[in-house]
Structures are given as structure tokens and as C-alpha cells.
Chains A and B, each alone.
Chain A
Amino acid sequence: MSASLTDDRMAQATQLQLTWWRFCRHKLALISLGVIVTFYVIAIFADFLAITDPHATDARRSYMPPQAIQLFDADGFNPHVNGLKGVRDLKTFKMTFAPDQGRKLKVVMFAHGYEYNLFGLIPTDRHLFGIEGGQPVDGIFLLGTDQLGRDVYSRLIVATRISLFIGLAGVTLSLFLGVMLGGISGLYGGWVDTIIQRVIEVVRSIPTIPLWMGLAAALPNTWSVTQVYFAITIIISLVGWTELARVVRGRFLALREEDFVIAAELAGAGQTRIIVRHMLPSFLSHIIAAVSLALPAMIVSETSLSFLGLGLRPPAISWGILLQDAQNVQVLSGAPWLLVAAAPVILVILAFNFLGDGLRDAADPYG
């Protein structure tokens, strides 16, 4: 009975279902999907998850090492952090932080903290957790602080937002350019195809870093952070569309010769119907896979541009900008925790690559 039931399920399964079943067999891709979803959830609730205002500076707490939350004390369960006392080492003139015995800062869930707008709309000052009361020097610095005394953990969380969404925005734009130009190229062929293909070859042969440098230098430095953000997105996607255009063109060329497309044409179907009903559904999955492979490239582009100082500029917060602080070897030997911003970059890029791999395998359940 179960065999015939499965057969029936298979026979009536849509392409999406078949793709999903096949995708689920790729465990690494499934885990990666979870990782990516987690990252985007973090990006959406970034301010809620952050503890200390990522922009708040305080010279008295510069280069604080990471601090752990103590869950228990002598009285049992009582999550707290120890208050820290900064002492200037008179030999090296370096601030060293030692626990201030007896000063316990209680960690509270849904604590009040700095004010922000949830989803950019709802003004609130609630955070997942935090400490209440305390002096400016006090706080939960899970990943330490930077030179200006800003909380690295909170900055990392908030940076996720720009770094992940610049990828999405960039891919959306290059998807639009790629599908339009690739589609025209593959559908009409002839000299239009030749021109678009040569343009792609030229764009791809330009070394990206000098190109970005030139374009970034052209941005007026009077522009606001938001304007620069959009400009960078456009710059990144101006190079990114070529790959997608090639994929789309290839699919159009292949599908134009498919028997079922010819059958529709012989039935008298118009161009639009053939594209929408027969061609698009057959390569949608390929586009999704191509996009999931293009996203990490976008993220890395933003990170490297900002790291080199060509992309976003402080006070914007992105992974690249956080890594900028870790450019100096001397700083790194004193405050190695600043390098922590590299971890989410690596994790997200790996996850996207595995996901793209799994999607590409699953994309064609008939293959």
C-alpha cells in the first residue's frame, strides 16, 4: 500500500515539491539554509539583540577584553557580570581591566537600553537582555570593545544588517539587469546578442578592484551614509549582472530548441505565453541557484571594499568597516578580539555556497 501511495505522491508532485524533497537529501545545504535564515533574523532584529549603543564611544573603556556572563554565584542562579575597574599600567601606559570585587551587575531579560526604532518604525528601548543601572564604564562586553570603547558584540550584530542586505539589494539589481539583457540576448540573437555578449566580455575583463576604486573615488564625499550605501550597491551589481545574464541567455538558447517549446509554437501559442508558461518555469530554479551563488560574492565585495576604505565609511557599520579596525598588526596583538568580524563573513559565505550547491543539484529534479 505504501509503495502505491508514494508513487501517487510522486506522480502528482509539482516541480517545487520534487525540488524540495531532493534538496532535503543534501544535509549540508539544509544546515546552511538554517544558518542563513538565522543570520537574516539577526539582521532584522539587530537593534533588539544588541546590548550597548553601537555608536556610543567612551574613552574610559577602550580595548576592554571580552567579558563572560556569570550564571551562578554563591546564592545560586543569578546571572550577572562583574564590574570592571580600569588601571593604567605605569610601565606601558596601557589600560588593564581587573574585576572590581564585590560589584555585581545583574543581567536582566528585556532590559531597557538605548533607544531605537524596531523595523525602522516602532520606537522602543527594549533589548533581549542588558544590565540596569551602572556607570558608563559598566556594560556587558561579550566580545570586548574597540579603541573608542564601542561594544564589538553590538556593532557586529548591527553590521549584519548592512552587510547582508547590501548583498540582497545588489543581487536584485543584477538579477534585473541580467535577466533583461540575457533574455533579450538569448531570445533575439543576431547582432543584439553579439553586442551584449561583447559588452559582458569587456566588463568581465576589467580588474574589479581598480574599477571599484575609480567608481568609489567618483562618489562625492558630501554624500550621506545612505547615499553611499546605494551607490556602492549599484557599483557592485554593475559587475555582478554579467554572470546571471550568461546563465539566462544559455537557458533561453537551449529552451528555444526544446520540443515542448516548438509544440507550443505549433499549437499557435504567442511569444509571451511561450516565455511565461514554458520557458520561465524551466529555468527559474537555475536562476535561484545562480542568485544564491552570486550573493556571497556581493557580500565579499562589500566587505573588501569597506576594508580597503573604498566602500562604506564610518559611522556606517558593516563587517568590512569592523575589519578596518583590525588592519593594524599592533592593534591586533593588543586586542585580538577585533578580528571576530571575520567569523560571520566566513560562516555566511560558506553557508551560501553550500546552499547554492544544494539548490543547483535539486534545481532539476528531472535531470
Chain B
Amino acid sequence: MKVLEVEGLHKSFPIRGGLLQREIGRVRAVQDVSFSIERGETLALVGESGCGKTTVSRCILRALPPTSGAIRFSPQDGTVVDLAPLSRRALRPLRRHIQMIFQDPYSSLNPRMLVGDIVAEPLAVNGVGSVEREARVRALLDLVGLPQSARTRFPHAFSGGQRQRIGIARALALDPRLVVADEPVSALDVSVQAQIINLLLDLQDRLGLSMLFVAHDLGVVRHVSDRVAVMYVGRIVEIAPTRSLYSRPRHPYTEALLAAVPKPDPELRDQAAAPRGEVADPANPPPGCAFHPRCPFAVDLCRTEVPKLRETTTGHMSACHRAEELTLTGVA
């Protein structure tokens, strides 16, 4: 049972210039992205900065209008709505079903509101009565491991990790069908990252959360995600179950990302093969496969034809012309 199904999503931003602000080009931030999330499943969306992963998540949240494509969302069992063409007004009743966990725990909490009011705000906005609201806030604080005394305090009294817990409590307040977590741990200290990851794992178990987990490296997502989608310059280049992707990547870019994950073994340190060169400019991507200028395995075909995302083994999709013939190294 699918909670979310994205099909052929495109998003481009116009580049304007000159006296009359005429459009002089387009940044194709997201091109032909398709994926789906099952109920109770966590899909990780991974890529370097500028690859379009945040744009994808903002389009799903409809903080941005997509240029084309369909975002089919199921707010309850048996109904499916396409979010892509909906107006601001039509979206409002659906907002409660998709909530977001923000990257920066400092800017995402209003410093002028008490923590209790921050967590209760989604409830208040959606017409939950004050008695019920208070009980719910208590339960939520317990759920994310914050003391009850937090309710009468301001966010500035809390550390980054605790603030992220407040943000998670707020996201869960309305019992959303889907949670979009936009790099929820990348602004935190490594030791705190583990605590928040564990909290998310715990919540997956207890609440059966469906989650889109956006991250910029493959290190953190291994533990939380069921499947991983890797993006490069606006396109998904590989999407596979976590275990399969880590052990046997089918795209040279994924291999490079895996090599960049820090390993606790000093013997292995120097084997990391970072990809050469810079990330391609999405306003002016190279012809053919966008990764070919950095790819050690590129052949002539890669320079002329854009590879299609196709199934290589069961459930494992890759967008590489040479996916079948290459043997790429993953991690154990």
C-alpha cells in the first residue's frame, strides 16, 4: 500500500537577467524523478548539495510548485490525491498529513514561543481543543524523551539535540501519514546524531512511520532507511534496498559516495577514491550522462545518451549504461 508515489517530477527555476528581468535560462533542479514510499517504509534520498534532493522534498511538501509530474499521496487508506496541481487553499486540509523535520534545530523553532506552544501549534491550527491538546503535548514530550518541564521553557534553554527532539515532537503532533525529514541530523554533533537516529528508529518501530529521509552522505542513512535513492544533478541515478545498494552498488557515483563514508579502520583510510572534478552545473549540465566527466568508467555512449533508470536485479534500479558489466565495490 503506497503512501506516496512520485512520477515524472520536474522542477526548473528560471534564471532572469537584464533590465526587464527576462528569462535567460533555466536551472533544471529536478528532472524526471519517480519513486514511491510504502506504508511504514523509510526511503532515503541521498546526494551532494545542489543535486536537487531538497527541491524534491519541498515539492512533495508543496512549499514549491512542481513544473510538471504527479505527486500522488494517500491521506487515508483508499484515497489518493495528486498534490502537484492543487492550489494553496486546496492544500491546507491536506497539510496535516505530511509533516516535516527540519535540518536546523535553531531556526526551525520560533524563539518567542514556549516549547509547549510550539509542539501544540499544529494541533491548535487544526482545531484540537485545549484539554486534548495539553494531554497530547504531554504524550509527545514523553515519546521524544523530553521532560515535562520543557513545556514552560523557551527553545533557547535547550541544546541542539534537544531542540531537534522538539521539532520531531511537533512533526508527529498530528499523526502524519508521511514525515519528510530534511537532513535531520547533519547540523548536530556526531554523538548527538546517534541519539536522534536511535529516536527515529524507535519511532519507526512504535508508530510505523512512513518517512522520506533526505541526507547528503550515505553514512547516516544506512541504519534508518529501508531503501535508498541516490540523486545526481536532478536525477535519480540508483534506487535500491539499503542492503543491496551498500553491498553491491550499480552506479559509479554510488560507489564514490560509499567510498567517502568514513570508516573506523585506519588501514582502509587511503583506499577512498573521491570522485574527480566538480559537481555539474544544473543550469548547464553536460550532454549524455551528467556524471560522465567524473566517471572513471565512461565510454563514448555515456557522452551522448542520457541513461534511463532501469531494473538491473530485482528491486535494484540503476541509471548507468554499464550497470551490468561493471563490478563496483560497496561496503561490507
Contacts and interface: CB of A to CB of B under 8 A. Distances in A.
18 contacts: A10-B156, A11-B153, A11-B154, A11-B157, A13-B154, A15-B112, A259-B104, A259-B108, A260-B107, A262-B100, A262-B102, A263-B108, A266-B95, A266-B99, A267-B99, A268-B93, A268-B96, A282-B111
A281 B157 contact: no
B126 interface: yes
B63 A266 contact: yes
Interface in B36-90: 61, 63
Nearest to B103: A259
B125 A260 contact: no
A232 B164 CA distance: 54
Contacts of A259: 102, 104, 107-108
Nearest to A10: B157
A267 B96 contact: yes
Interface in A13-31: 13-15
Nearest to A273: B125
Interface string A223-254: 00000000000000000000000000000000
B90 to A, nearest CB: 12
Interface string A268-280: 1110010001100
A321 to B, nearest CB: 45
A263 B157 contact: no
Contacts of B239: none
Given A260-B110, A278-B110, A12 B154 contact: yes
Q: Which residue, of A7, A13, A260, has the highest number of chain B Cβ atoms within 10 A? A: A260
B149 to A, nearest CB: 9
Name the interface size band of chain B. 20 to 34
For the complex of A and B, 10 pairs with smallest distance between CB atoms: A11-B157, A259-B108, A267-B122, A268-B95, A260-B110, A11-B153, A259-B107, A281-B112, A269-B125, A366-B111
Interface string A285-313: 00000000000000000000000000000
Contacts of B276: none
A15 B102 CA distance: 23
A259 B111 CA distance: 12
B257 interface: no
Nearest to B123: A267
A262 B101 CA distance: 11
Contacts of A15: 111-112
Contacts of A278: 110
